[in-house]
A and B are shown apart, each in its own frame.
Chain A
Amino acid sequence: MHPTFSIVFFTTASGAGFALLLLIGVGVPLALLPDDAGFGAAALLVAAVLIAGGLVSSAFHLGRPERAWRAFSQWRSSWLSREGALSVLTFVPAVIFAFGWLAFGATGGFAGLCGFLAAAGAVASVYCTGMIYASLKPIRQWHNPWVVPNYFALGLMSGFLVLDLILRFWVVRPVGIGLLSLAAVLVAWWIKESYWRSIDAGTAASTVASATGLGRRGAVRMLERPHTEENYLLTEMGFRIARKHRRRLRNIARLAAFLVPVVAVLVALVWGGGAGRIAAAVAVLSAALGLVVERWLFFAEARHTVTLYYGADQV
C-alpha cells in the first residue's frame, strides 16, 4: 500500500495527542499529576495541537477536502466515519475539562467527569483508527489481531514520552511517570515485534488461483498485464518495498522508536533537572522519527489482493 505522508503524520500525531489527553484526563482528576495551571495549559495545548494537526493533515489526503464534513455521517457502518465523529466529539468534554481546571481550578466533580469522558473518547478514537485498517480483509498485514494493540501501544508510548518531557518543566525528577514511560516503550516494542513476526509468518488465504478461479490445470501465472503503463491500482495498492530496505527500515524503527527512547528515559530517570529534560526531549524526538518510519513501513509492507491480478503469486 502506498504510504501517504498526510496519513502517516495523522496517525502518529493524533495517536500521541489522544494518549496525552487520556493520561491528563485520568491523571489530573485522580490527583496523580500536579494540579498546576501552567502544566495543565502546556500539556492540554500540546495534546490539542497534535490531535487537531493530525485531523487537518488527514484532510489533505482527500480528493475533495471541502466535503470532509460529510465523513461524520456514516458512523453506523464505517470505522472511518466513527473515527472522525469521535475525534471531534472528544473535544467537547476535553474543552469543558480544560476550562473547569484552568479557569476555576476544579479537577473533581463535573470537570473531573469530563476529564474521564475525554479520556474515554481518546481511547475510542484510537481504537477506531486501528479498526479502519484491521477491518480491511483484502490486506493480510492489516487484517491482523496485532494491529489494534499496535495503535494503542504506540500511541500510549508516545503520549507518555511527551507527558514526561512536559512534566519535567514543573517536577525535577518525575519518577512515577518516568517508570511508566519506560514500561510503555518496552510493551510497545514487544507488541511491534510480535506484529512483525506475525506478518512474516503467515500467508494470505487468497492466491492468484482463488483470485481468478483458475488452477484446475495446474499452476496459474500472469502472462500479460492489461496495460503497459501504471494505473491507480498499481500506484496506490501495488506499492512495494525491497526486502533489504524493509529490513534496514525495521532496524531504524527499532533503534529510533524504542532503543534510543529506552536509554534516554533511563538517563532522565537517573539525572532529572536540565540533563533529564534534554534526555526526555531526545526520547520524544527520536520516538517521533522512529514512529514515522514504523508507520511508513506499516503501509509499505502491506500487500493488497489486487496485486494478485498483476503478477503476485500470494499476498
Chain B
Amino acid sequence: MTDLPASPPGRKQLGLVIDLDICVGCHACATACKEWNSGGHMAPLTDFHPYGGDPQGVWFNRIHSFEEGDGEGARTVHFPRSCLHCAEPACVTVCPTGASYKRAEDGIVLVNEAICIGCKLCSWACPYGAREFDADVGVMKKCTLCIDRIYNDNLAVEERLPACVMVCPTHARHFGDLGDPNSAVSEMVARRGGLDLMPELGYRPVNKYLPPRLDRMAPAPGPAEPPAAPDPAEGNRLLRWIDRLLSR
C-alpha cells in the first residue's frame, strides 16, 4: 500500500545535509551518482543520443547555479538538487499501484520498478523534480540514497556512503540519520540553521540545506567612509597597548 508508514519522533530518517556555503559546483556528485547508479538498484539510467547533438538521460542529481543578492554583496551559490526523501512524500501517496513507497525502517523513498506502470503522476506530485521518467524502460526512476552502498557488506565500512557524499571534494555533502536529534548531521543542521526547501508545501523534506554563511558577505557598497581622525594614542606605546587590550 502507498499509505505512509507511521513515523513516531525519533524514527530513523536517513538523508543528506548539503552545505551551500562550500559547494563549488564541480558536478562530481552528479557524475559519481550517475556512474554508481547506472549499475545500481535502479539501473539502467538510460541515456538517449549520448554522443549525438541532443543528448538526454536520467539523472538522480542535478547541480544548478544561482546568484543571490546584487552588487558587491552578491555571491554565486551552487545548488545540488536530488530527492529529499520527504516525511510527507505526496509522490508515494498518489501512486496508484503501490510501486512508490517509503521504507518504514529508514525513511528511504523508493520505486518498485516491477510494478510501476509509468503513469508519471508521482513526478507531477513532487515539487522538487526529484523523479525522472525512463522512457526506454517505461518506469519512473529516482535517487535510492545509494541503498546498495549504505548497507553493502562487500564495501569497506568507510565506503558505505551514498556515492555523492563519498566523492564530494569539499565535504559539502553529509549523510546520516536526521530522525535522531543527536546525530552528527542533526547537530550540524541545528548549528548552521539548516533549511527545508519549499516548507510552505508541507512535504517535510528529510534532506536539509545549510545556507551560505552571512559573515563571508562582502560589505554592502555604501558612501565612502570619511578619513579617520588621527588616533590620539598613536606614538604612545602604553596607550597603544591599552587600545589593543580594549579592542579584543
* A225 lies within 8 A of chain B by Cβ: yes
Pairwise interchain contact B201-A137, C-beta atoms closer than 8 A = yes
B127 touches A206 (CB 8 A): yes
Minimum distance in angstroms from A124 CB to a CB of chain B: 16
A217 and B69 contact, CB distance less than 8 A: yes
Using a CB-CB cutoff of 8 Å, which residues 60-106 of chain A contact chain B?
61-65, 67-68, 70-74, 76-81, 84
Query: Nearest chain A CB to B150's CB is how many angstroms away?
Result: 24
Question: Which residues 202-248 of B have a CB within 8 angstroms of A?
Answer: 202, 209, 211-212, 214, 217
Interface size range on A against B: 35 or more
Across-interface contacts of B199 in A (CB, < 8 A): 210
- CB within 8 Å for A236 and B94 given contacts A217-B74, A306-B129: no
B24 in the interface, Cβ–Cβ < 8 Å? no
Interchain CB contact (< 8 A) of B129 among A71, A76, A213, A309: A309
Cβ contact within 8 Å between B74 and A233: no
In this complex, what residue of B is CB-closest to A224?
Answer: B65
Contact with A along B146-169 (1 / 0, CB 8 A): 000000000000000000000000
Of the listed residues B75, B126, B212, the one surrounded by the most CB atoms of chain A closer than 10 A to its CB is B126
With a CB–CB cut-off of 8 A, which chain B residues contact A139?
Answer: 124
- Smallest beta-carbon distance A276→chain B, Å: 42
> Which residues of B are found within 8 Å of A63, using beta-carbon distances?
116-120, 133-135, 137-140
Q: How far is the CB of A2 from chain B (nearest CB, A)?
A: 9
Kindly list chain A residues whose C-beta atoms are within 8 Å of the C-beta of B127: 137-138, 206, 211, 304-306
Q: Whole-angstrom distance from the CB of B106 to the nearest CB of chain A?
A: 21
Q: Which residues of A contact B124 (CB under 8 A)?
A: 1, 136, 138-139, 236-237, 304
> Given the complex, which residues of A lie within 8 Å of B123, measured CB to CB?
232-233, 236-237
CA distance A224 to B73 in the complex (A): 19
CB < 8 Å: which of A73, A137, A226, A306 contacts B98? A73
Q: B114 — nearest CB in chain A belongs to which residue? A: A67
- A221: chain B residues at CB < 8 Å are 66-67
Q: Is B97 an interface residue (CB 8 A)?
A: yes
Residue of B nearest to A238 (CB): B129
Residue B183 CB within 8 A of the other chain: no
Residues of B within 8 A of A137 (CB): 90, 125, 127, 201-202
Bound Cα distance from A62 to B140, whole angstroms: 11
Residues A227 and B69 in contact in the complex (CB < 8 Å), given A206-B201, A213-B20: no
Bound-state CA distance A226–B66 (Å) is 11
Residue of A nearest to B94 (CB): A78
Chain A residues whose CB sits within 8 angstroms of the CB of B76 once the complex forms: 223
B118 touches A80 (CB 8 A): no
Contact B197 A211 (CB under 8 A): yes
What 1/0 mask marks residues of chain A from 200 to 234 whose CB sits below 8 Å from any chain B CB?
00000110101111111111111111110111110
Q: How far does the alpha carbon of A212 sit from the alpha carbon of B66 in the complex, in Å?
A: 9
Nearest neighbor of A311 in chain B, beta-carbon distance = B64
Neighbour of A309 across the interface among B27, B64, B93, B97, CB < 8 A: B64
Q: Which residues of B contact A65 (CB under 8 A)?
A: 117
CB pair B94–A135 under 8 Å, yes or no, is yes
Contact residue among B63, B95, B121, B138 (Cβ-Cβ distance under 8 Å from A132) = B121
Closest residue of chain A to B210 (Cβ to Cβ) is A213
A77 in contact with B68 (CB, 8 Å): no
Least CB distance from B94 to A in Å reads: 5
B96 within 8 A of A: yes
Residues in A whose Cβ lies below 8 Å from that of B67: 220-223
B 186-203 to A, binary, CB cutoff 8 A, 1 in contact else 0? 000000000111111110
Distance, CA A250 to CA B73, complexed state (A) = 44
List chain A positions with a Cβ less than 8 A from chain B: 1, 61-65, 67-68, 70-74, 76-81, 84, 132, 135-139, 205-206, 208, 210-227, 229-233, 236-237, 304-306, 309-310
**Residues of B bordering A, CB below 8 Å:** 1-3, 20, 27, 30, 54-59, 62-70, 73-77, 79, 81, 90, 92-99, 115-121, 123-129, 132-135, 137-140, 195-202, 209, 211-212, 214, 217
10 contacts between A and B (CB under 8 A): A62-B138, A63-B119, A63-B135, A64-B117, A74-B1, A77-B92, A212-B209, A214-B211, A229-B55, A232-B133
